[in-house]
Amino acid sequence: MSREMWNRILSPISVALACAGMLSAQNLAGPNSGFVYDPADKAIRLIVGVPGAAYLGGDLASGLDGASIAPDGARAVASRNGRLVLISTADGSAVDLGAWEGELALGAWSADGTAFAAKGSALALFRNLDATPEAVALGEFDGKITALAVAGRGTLIVATESGLFRLGEAAELLAPLEGVTALAMNAAGDRLYAASPLRKEIHQIGGLEASAEVAFLLGEAAGLDAPSALGVSGNTLYVADRGSHKLSAVRLDSSEMLFSLDLAFDATGMERLSSGRFLMTQAAGSGSIEIFDPARRAVLFVPQSGAFESQAADSVEE
């Protein structure tokens, strides 16, 4: 973002506080957009301010090998020093969840933030994270997992190249949808949306705890090329497409296209933030953090705190 744009957006009071070193993630009493995992810094950090006038604050937890933040922003699960830990975003305190090898490659939360599934060298599911965490015993699963979702308060669903499976003591085929690489759950945790770049389709799946009800939602006729990331808010489905470099909003009860935005990057995921916005995750090594704000119909870049302070200082000098 240019210095001139920052000068137009930021108020003189905010600039003065930033330059004085008084505007930190830990003591800010003002607007924020929630916590994110910053892969460049290997840390969980707070987005101070709102998209368009925001920056990354100080570290809540650092030295991580991956992390995922709950949709309500109250807690996060991270891999660190060969362990998986549950971190409170209120004070940074951590509860050990057990041994963990390598990075946290995939993670998925239940809609209420009380259950979490993790994929690395192993696959794990945890429930009751708002009280006393408990690990759930899972049966063996040999397929290559491409996406995870957690229904209700802890039913694990995995996507593979051949279909969607409900995983408990044994793996059960939920829906024979091929090539699914992106999943998104609704707020009630009872309806799942699955995107297949291979088939250029998105399906809606109900009956997640019993017999699945699969319905075609969108396809190539709606402009899909390679749908790669999904997000749900109320009656709206947000679809990021790596093929067309578009982010589209679709009304779920009518499949009406509400709006479409151009993307300057390849989106690989959408993670809901506690503010109601979405973190747009990208391919490894991209280095930038992008936030989608549905209310503003905009995707906005969030700079590092150092970049913010440098531009703020330039504004004061002028």
Percent of the chain residues past pLDDT 90, beyond the cut? 68
Average pLDDT of the chain is 85
What average pLDDT does this structure show over 185-201? 96
Q: What is the pLDDT of residue 177?
A: 96
Q: Is the pLDDT of residue 7 over 60?
A: no
Residue 25 neighbours by CB under 8 Å, 6+ apart: 32, 45, 46, 48, 56, 57, 58, 60
Confidence of residue 30 (pLDDT cuts 50, 70, 90): low
Q: Is the pLDDT of residue 226 over 70?
A: yes
Q: Please tell me which residue, 253 or 141, carries the higher pLDDT value.
A: 253
pTM attached to this predicted model: 0.85
Q: What is the pLDDT of residue 149?
A: 98
CA distances 198 to 55, 219, 227, 258, Å, are 36, 11, 9, 24
Q: What is the pLDDT of residue 268?
A: 92
Q: What is the pLDDT of residue 51?
A: 73
CA distances 30 to 25, 266, 289, 301, Å, are 10, 32, 21, 20
Instruction: Copy the structure tokens of residue 165.
Output: 């499976």
d(CA 189, CA 113): 11
Q: Is the pLDDT of residue 13 over 70?
A: no
Q: What is the pLDDT of residue 287?
A: 63
> What 3 state SS string does 49-84 have?
EECCEEEEEEEEECCCCCEEECCCCCEEEEEECCEE
Percent of the chain residues past pLDDT 70, beyond the cut? 85
Q: Please tell me which residue, 160 or 141, carries the higher pLDDT value.
A: 160
pLDDT in tens, 259-276: 999 999 999 999 999 889
Instruction: Copy the structure tokens of residue 28.
Output: 């800010």
Q: Is the pLDDT of residue 113 over 90?
A: yes
Q: Is the pLDDT of residue 28 over 60?
A: no
pLDDT in tens, 277-301: 999 988 765 667 899 999 999 999 8
Q: Is the pLDDT of residue 8 over 90?
A: no
pLDDT in tens, 62-110: 999 999 999 999 999 999 999 999 999 999 999 999 999 988 999 999 9
Q: Please tell me which residue, 155 or 9, carries the higher pLDDT value.
A: 155
Confidence of residue 29 (pLDDT cuts 50, 70, 90): very low
